[in-house]
Amino acid sequence: MSTTRILLSQSVIQTRVRELGRELSEHYAGKHPIFLGVMNGALFFLTDLLRAVDLDEVEPSTIRVASYAGAQSTGVLHGLDGLGDSFRGRHVLILDDILETGLTLSSLAKAIRKAGAADVKTCVLLEKPAARVRPIHADWVGFHIADEFVVGYGLDYNGRYRNLRQVRVLENVE
């Protein structure tokens, strides 16, 4: 059996999400941004942040890309074809669960810029210090964590543990 150890409690996460909400409210004041959650990992982060910002006109949106199989990044990103015109001229904030190699965020940001967005920024719940394949930094980071495999609050291990309210370290991975 795999076991888990709590890294970030529900209240620690919620406090930080409210802080990020205040910063994003200031940054996007008077604008009509798209908050684009990378599914499924940013499911809770997106919905909690939407409720934490004091902005009247945020447009929630989601996109599905995948580069992971099990606990290993495959380095290939799927799901970026056919973005169409929905980002043209828009301020887009990409929300992801975790920045590790940077492959997901950099490919996605590039594709959305190419689709004509006026501005693309990134916000991640977690950032790991792992070696960056692409030189990318998120504009907003919830928590910097150690190089451990984490699950919960949207993060999964092969589809499991996503619904946990805390972020936990997965130990004894099987």
Query: CB under 5 to 8 A by kind: which of ligand IMP, Mg ion, none does 124 bind?
Result: none
How far, in Å, CA of 123 to CA of 115, rounded?
A: 19
Confirm or reject binding of residue 41 to Mg ion (CB under 5 A): yes
Q: Could you tell me the smallest distance in angstroms from the CB atom of residue 14 to Mg ion?
A: 21
Confirm or reject binding of residue 123 to ligand IMP (CB under 6 A): no
Confirm or reject binding of residue 143 to ligand IMP (CB under 6 A): no
Q: Specify the stretch interacting with ligand IMP by CB under 6 A; choose among 11-19, 82-90, 112-120, 149-157.
A: 149-157
Query: CB under 5 to 8 A by kind: which of Mg ion, ligand IMP, none does 140 bind?
Result: none
Q: What is the identity of the amino acid at 20?
A: L
Cβ distance to ligand IMP smaller for residue 17 or 170:
170
What one-character-per-residue DSSP string does 102-159 give? Answer: SHHHHHHHHHHHHTT-SEEEEEEEEE--SPPSS----SEEEEE--S--EEBTTB-BTT
Confirm or reject binding of residue 167 to ligand IMP (CB under 6 A): no
Query: CB under 5 to 8 A by kind: which of ligand IMP, Mg ion, none does 61 bind?
Result: none
**Strand order from edge to edge, sheet including 150-151:** 3-8, 167-171, 150-151
Q: Specify the stretch interacting with ligand IMP by CB under 6 A; choose among 8-16, 24-32, 114-122, 143-151.
A: 143-151
How far, in Å, CA of 71 to CA of 62, rounded?
A: 23
How far, in Å, CA of 59 to CA of 139, rounded?
A: 19
Confirm or reject binding of residue 102 to Mg ion (CB under 5 A): no
How far, in Å, CA of 91 to CA of 61, rounded?
A: 12
Cβ distance to Mg ion smaller for residue 2 or 74:
74
> Which residues lie closer than 8 Å to 8 by C-beta, 6 or more apart?
143, 153, 166, 167
Residues making contact with ligand IMP (CB under 6 A) = 38, 41, 67-68, 73, 96-104, 149-151, 155
Residues making contact with Mg ion (CB under 5 A) = 41
